[in-house]
Amino acid sequence: MRIAGVVAEYNPFHNGHAYQIEQMRKAGATHVAAVMSGAFVQRGEPAILDKWTRAKAAVLGGADLVIELPAPFALSSAPEFAFGAMSALAFIGVSMIGFGSESGDIEALKQERCALEALERAGAFAPFLKEGMSYPRARQAAFEQAYHRTPCFADPNDLLALSYLRAAGRLGVSFEWLAVKRAGAAHDSTTAAGAFASASFLRTHLEQPEILSQYVPETAFALYQKEINEQRAPIRMINGERYLLGVLRSLSREQWAAIPDVTEGLEHRLWRAVRESGSLSEFYDAVKTKRYPHARIRRIACCAALSITQKERASSCEAFRVLAFNRRGAEILGRIPKEQRQRIGVNFADLYRRYPQAFQASVRAQECASLCMPQIAPCGIDFTKKVTMEE
């Protein structure tokens, strides 16, 4: 058995994702497991479809097992997002990590990882940070100054891949790496290319079946149409905006300061801005600076609304939840050492009883996302939704 792992959001699952899984099988994977963001995604907003629908689409589209990336990691910057994902994939015993890549050059990425670590030790990022640059931009500027070229990690998928490499190093685990060169439309592209379109393009056109059907597998298209017809999708932050603004306005400066990634006195700026803003977009714009880009502010706002703390992030890798699987997925689960199997499962109520601290944030995230559906879902669907088991 050769298990390949992939880190995903499947927001939504589309032809490009199916192609990536196909390439992993061509590279020798007998089984493919995905760790996927749940109710909220790294952009700092709810996923466009619920996690069960996206996980089922992935299994019908080629994956064998989908487990949920806990919300405290899903709503983190790239290093912590990657650390949570690599922790989950290491736990289930994957030997290969496949990832989308603009460059398709894993050796170049490994070299850039070593170069960045040397630059960091030498304090090369500091001058750029003092200019007010964000950490990712300062890191790239230091690399370009030292090596006189644009790095592979300047592209979004390769930047995440670099984070996976570093996270694996932090964990002390060794994987085989497979860079799957991105086909078709670029990341976050507003146009399509051939049979491929970006997830961003598809979120925009989710309610236009004549467009959507061209870029997602037939099985996924049927699932998405059902969710739309039954008013469970699209899930959008705007639907819960007043509630979220109300929660954010209720926070003290001290509460803002306890949120992950709030540093350098940012809590004061957040506290003032939310009191003066009439919408979430106005709030994000008021807080955004060169140092703190939009995506970081959105993630901070989501963590604040969901009461996610740094301490909660640390405990959320104690156990993992299965969202969908098939026969081969069951084989992956069966290989987990017996003494560790209680830390992963399909019966969420049992898992939650044993490891409440690992799942409380993800449950809160789902309750919030349920308020952002076209028709508000009942409370507690984390405990009533059935896991997809495909033959």
Question: Which residues on adjacent β-strands are paired with residue 192?
Answer: 197
DSSP string, 321-383: EEEEE-HHHHHHHHHS-GGGGGGEES-HHHHHHH-HHHHHHHHHHHHHHHHTSSSPPPTTGGG
Report the relative pairing of strands 192-193 and 196-197 from DSSP bridges: antiparallel
11 is in an annotated binding site: yes
Asked if residue 19 belongs to a known ligand binding site, the reply is: yes
Annotated binding-site residue? 17: yes
9 appears as a binding residue in the annotation: yes
- Return the structure tokens found at 86: 């690599």
- Cβ 308 vs Cβ 260: under 8 Å: yes
13 annotated as ligand-binding: yes
Please state the separation of Cα 359 from the chain's center in Å. 16
- State the maximum Cα–Cα separation within the chain, in Å, rounded to a whole number: 57
* Separation in Å, CA 195 to CA 111, 217, 270: 33, 10, 42
Asked whether residue 264 is marked as a ligand-binding residue, the answer is no
12 is in an annotated binding site: yes
Secondary structure in 3-state letters for 80-107 = HHHHHHHHHHHHCCCCEEEEEECCCCHH
Whether 4 has a binding-site annotation, put simply, is no
- How many CA atoms lie within 13 Å of 108's alpha carbon, on the beta-carbon side? 14
End-to-end CA distance of the chain: 18
Asked whether residue 326 is marked as a ligand-binding residue, the answer is: no
- Is residue 246 part of an annotated ligand binding site? no
- 70 annotated among ligand-binding-site residues: no
Q: Which residue numbers belong to the known binding site for ATP? A: 7-20, 100, 157, 182
Q: Which residue numbers belong to the known binding site? A: 7-20, 100, 157, 182
